[in-house]
Structure 1
Amino acid sequence: MTTHHTHGQSTDEDDKAAFEEFKSLVNMTAHQLEKWLATEASRAVGQKDGDAESVGHKSGRRIIELLGAKKSDLQSDDYAHMRKVTGYVKRHLAQRPHGDIEHTKWRYSLMNWGHDPLK
């Protein structure tokens, strides 16, 4: 049986893969992420789309919701956000700077997206 993708629709298999990848790359708990997002360092990094809040910071708040959601309650836009998160984290990890990363904007940006490279 072949699976045909209708525009904007993903299959259960695609969603399952997105969910698994999201779970493996997001290594911060909802509580850790919530505490992190409340820090100055968290708010100081990331692209702002003419908004006071950066894209990554906004994403972090959405990730907290996703981490707390029941799998059965997830909608297609939730899976789309999971794909956005995993894409961002993977691209960003490939740009790891040399040296100590503990206090870098690179790490802080990743943490806004739920991934702490020091974990």
Structure 2
Amino acid sequence: MAGTTVDDTLWENFHRVVNMTSRELRDWLAVEGAGEQTEALPDQAGSELGQRVVDILGKRRGDLTDDDVLVMQRVVDKVVGKRGVELDATISDDAERRRLMDIGHDALKP
């Protein structure tokens, strides 16, 4: 059901931690998720969570579902857990940076 209320804090935090555009994330997932299984369906490449983030980025706030809100909170929790609330923790591990990029956070972007 669409029209779920998203509180201002979650909305702002999600858009703060997801610092890749939907196009950047979609392109990243297509490259990262490329393989025999995804070649036929490039729009479905990458992690399921990453695909959900792309979907959420394409929605207006009033069109979000309860499940979208849960995904948003999950993404915020993951990124803040790795980078801290101020997103100032340095990611020195390339694999960790790639995992965060899979959900729309590029640690090298300001």
Match for 1:20 among 12, 32, 38? 12
User: How much identity, in percent, do the aligned residues show?
Assistant: 36
Pairing of 1:41-52 with structure 2 (within 5 A) = 42-43=32-33
The residue type equivalent to 1:34 in the other structure is R
Deviation at 1:43, TM superposition (A): 3.7
In 2, Cα distance between the equivalents of 1:21 and 1:115? 12
Match for 1:64 among 44, 54, 61? 54
| Cα pair 1:30 1:64 within 8 Å, conserved | yes
Match for 1:91 among 60, 81, 106? 81
How high is the TM-score relative to the length of structure 2?
0.72
In 2, Cα distance between the equivalents of 1:71 and 1:22? 12
What is the match of residue 80 of structure 1?
A: 70
Q: Which runs of 4+ in 1 moved over 3 A?
A: 94-98
What is the match of residue 32 of structure 1?
A: 24
Deviation at 1:93, TM superposition (A): 2.0
| Cα pair 2:83 2:91 within 8 Å, conserved | no
What is the match of residue 99 of structure 2?
A: 109
Which blocks of at least 5 consecutive residues in structure 2 are unaligned? 35-45
The residue type equivalent to 1:72 in the other structure is G
| Cα pair 2:29 2:47 within 8 Å, conserved | yes
Q: Determine if the alignment matches structure 1 residue 118 to structure 2 residue 102.
A: no
How high is the TM-score relative to the length of structure 1?
0.67
In our comparison, the structure showing a higher alpha carbon Rg is: 1
Deviation at 1:96, TM superposition (A): 4.4
Aligned-CA RMSD value: 2.4
Deviation at 1:70, TM superposition (A): 1.0
In 1, Cα distance between the equivalents of 2:13 and 2:70? 12
The residue type equivalent to 2:8 in the other structure is K
